[in-house]
Amino acid sequence: MTKQLMAGIDLHGNNLVTGLVNQDGGRLKHQKLACDLELVDAFLAPYKAQVKSIAVESTYNWY
């Protein structure tokens, strides 16, 4: 059985950091990207069948 993955995305003004972790919490891949949906899609595409959830952090002016 293939392990499921979780993705996380931290949005910033003009870039984002995205990463993938496995069920055991092990980091699989991470990368800083421009805020471009096609780039995010290309990053996640090879893992599409395994990604169970995606969390996005996008706090603005929290202070």
Distance CA 7, CA 49 (A): 12
Q: How long is the chain? A: 63
Domain boundaries, the chain: 5-57
Phi first, then psi, for residue 24 (nearest 5°) are: -90, 0
Q: What is the mean pLDDT of the chain?
A: 91
**pLDDT grade for 62, boundaries at 50, 70 and 90:** low
The pTM is what?
0.83
pLDDT of residue 63: 63
pLDDT of residue 8: 96
**CATH 1.10.10.10 is held by the domain 5-57:** no
